[in-house]
Structure 1
Amino acid sequence: MIVQLFPRLDRLAVDALLAIRADDKACPEPILDADSYPIETRYAASGGSPIRHDILVDLRARLVEIAAGCGFPDRGSASDRARFDEQVSAFLAERDELDGGEALRDDVWAFLACVLLPDLVVWRFADRPAERFHGGVRNTFQRLWMRGRILDRGAVEDRWELLGALTEDALVQITERPSIGNDARLSRALAEGWLRASRQLGRSVMEDAMREAVIRLRLRNQVQLLAELDDRDLEVTIDTFFAQAPTAAGPERRSWTDRLLGRAK
């Protein structure tokens, strides 16, 4: 099998391109002609062959189609953009071209955001923060690919439920912490624990509960490798982290187990 090498754009090239566009208030146009790619565009020197241009064009077309179903090019609502994130996460996770090492490179996602899909970036994030163009966990599309890869339940009916069920804050807590996001099994276990807790308590209290559960998870993982637990023990451990998290501030603080049992403190 021949590895398909994606175009790459390093941080300096991204900064230069963003500087050129800084005073341009119009929506940036994608560059679909390979001969017009930025001069800084590079491919890996060896290990495969450059990806066919028609595959990149198709990738863009499919993403634009998803965006159009979510209101693009009109701004739409926050729920429209959340739906876009959910659908794109599943779509990118299933693309064969992104199933290898190329998708692990920040500079690949920087190229996609800056050259192939800049109009979708600006639509999704109207204030145009540079981090949404640069490669990394906050890149517009890289973050969605990561979510799809680590929260994929596999061949089940509700395969992508976690992508739509979790809040943006919960997803960020998982994917932007390497100690969690780099371990797909641990990430899924935490997401499933969030879902169980939210069904008991309601989503309104889950932001604080998730933050404290993540702190407890990271501390425990320093002394006990949670990835070594079997599925049931890992589930119980994650539920314990959420059970210890307070759901109210000040003198009214109670754990969610107290709330479930109706105990006042």
Structure 2
Amino acid sequence: MSGMFTYPRLPGEPARELLALVRDTSKMGTTGVTALASASHPKAAHVATGGRKSTGDDLLRVRGRVLEAVGHWVDGGGVPRNQQPKFDALLGQALHESLEILPADAAHAGTWSFLTLVLLPDVAVTRFTDLVDDRGLGTKRERNVLSRAWMRWDALGAVLLSGDPILGEDELVGLLERSAVARNGALVHELATAVLHHRTGTARSEYARELYKRVRHRTGPLMLDLLTRDELAELVQAEAGKVG
């Protein structure tokens, strides 16, 4: 696919009705949920925001790319806890590379409700078997199973798949769901790199929590957006040295 695409948006009430159906069907396993997957919904529609309208074939290509990345977990009916960070990273990569989504659509709840509940419901219940409202609906982008994976890849890219172990849930939430840090892409990368390079002293998740806190405190007296990448790197390293 080439260019920027728009996607169908599923309104709130039809989305909630479909979420209830997906939940009920998932009680019998993911196979039944896979049968619900579709490239269209009678209540979903594109909105004129520019870009190219995605077609049914475009949507099926997105589904195919996602299943190439995480299909073996879907076939297995779930994601072991220790594999969840990798699942999320691969899902985010597949979505980011295949959607080529227009920013206005990426920011809209209805888009993610459609992608989650119409196009990829089996992927959603594979990652979150209970699929609570925030995970299934697109109303909270940082919580929805697909949008949060897309947003993380958009912010960090291949950094999500680097490191041993790769960045975990707590490390990512602290990094990307705190606005003072998350709005500065260069700072996010520097912090992620510092966490991945941590080897000694405190446990890495504790180290990350303390490092993020120290850097957030610096956002008051400093206008971090005015710092160069080298200056941000120096700031992060200085604070990292104080954590231990």
TM range, smaller chain: 0.7 to 0.9
The answer on 1:145 being equivalent to 2:150 is: yes
- Cα deviation, 1:202-243, whole Å, max 9, x if unaligned, reads xx6122222222222222112212132222221121123333
- Cα deviation, 1:7-36, whole Å, max 9, x if unaligned, reads 1123443223324455442343433253xx
Matched residues in 1 for 2:155 and 2:165: separation? 14
Matched residues in 1 for 2:110 and 2:179: separation? 18
Which moved further from structure 2: 5-14 or 66-75? Answer: 66-75
- Whether the aligned pair in 2 keeps the contact of 1:70 and 1:81 (CA below 8 Å) is no
Indicate the structure whose relative CO is greater, using CA pairs within 8 Å and at least 6 residues apart.
2
Cα pair distance change 1:76/1:132, threshold 3 Å: closer
Matched residues in 2 for 1:220 and 1:89: separation? 30
Q: Displacement of 1:78 after TM fit?
A: 2.4
Which residue number in structure 2 is paired with residue 104 of structure 1?
Answer: 107
The answer on 1:31 being equivalent to 2:37 is: yes
TM-score (norm 2): 0.82
The structure with more helix, counted as a fraction of residues: 2
Matched residues in 2 for 1:163 and 1:44: separation? 42
- Whether the aligned pair in 1 keeps the contact of 2:10 and 2:113 (CA below 8 Å) is yes
Which moved further from structure 2: 159-168 or 219-228? Answer: 159-168
Which residue number in structure 1 is paired with residue 78 of structure 2?
Answer: 75
TM-score (norm 1): 0.77
User: Which structure 2 segments of 5+ residues have no match?
Assistant: none
Cα pair distance change 1:227/1:46, threshold 3 Å: closer
> Which runs of structure 2 are paired with 1:25-64 in the superposition (5 Å)?
25-26=27-28, 27=30, 28=33, 29-34=35-40, 37-39=41-43, 41-64=44-67
User: How many residue pairs were aligned?
Assistant: 236
User: Which structure 1 segments of 5+ residues have no match?
Assistant: 246-255, 257-265
> Which runs of structure 2 are paired with 1:1-265 in the superposition (5 Å)?
3-21=4-22, 23-24=24-25, 25-26=27-28, 27=30, 28=33, 29-34=35-40, 37-39=41-43, 41-70=44-73, 72-95=75-98, 97-98=100-101, 100-135=103-138, 136-152=141-157, 160-161=161-162, 165-196=166-197, 198-201=198-201, 205-245=203-243, 256=244
**Per the alignment, in what secondary structure is the counterpart of residue 223 of structure 1?**
coil
Q: Displacement of 1:92 after TM fit?
A: 2.6
Cα pair distance change 1:233/1:49, threshold 3 Å: closer
Which moved further from structure 2: 226-235 or 21-30? Answer: 21-30
Stretches (4+) displaced over 6 A? none
Among the aligned pairs, what percent are the same residue? 27
Matched residues in 2 for 1:163 and 1:230: separation? 29
Matched residues in 1 for 2:188 and 2:37: separation? 35
- Whether the aligned pair in 2 keeps the contact of 1:113 and 1:140 (CA below 8 Å) is yes
- Cα deviation, 1:144-164, whole Å, max 9, x if unaligned, reads 1111111136xxxx8952696
- Whether the aligned pair in 2 keeps the contact of 1:66 and 1:88 (CA below 8 Å) is yes
Matched residues in 2 for 1:93 and 1:49: separation? 17
Matched residues in 2 for 1:143 and 1:127: separation? 17
- Name which one, 1 or 2, has greater alpha-carbon Rg: 1
Matched residues in 1 for 2:168 and 2:91: separation? 16
Matched residues in 2 for 1:193 and 1:206: separation? 10
Cα pair distance change 1:56/1:233, threshold 3 Å: same
The CA RMSD over aligned residues, in Å, is 2.8
Matched residues in 1 for 2:108 and 2:210: separation? 31
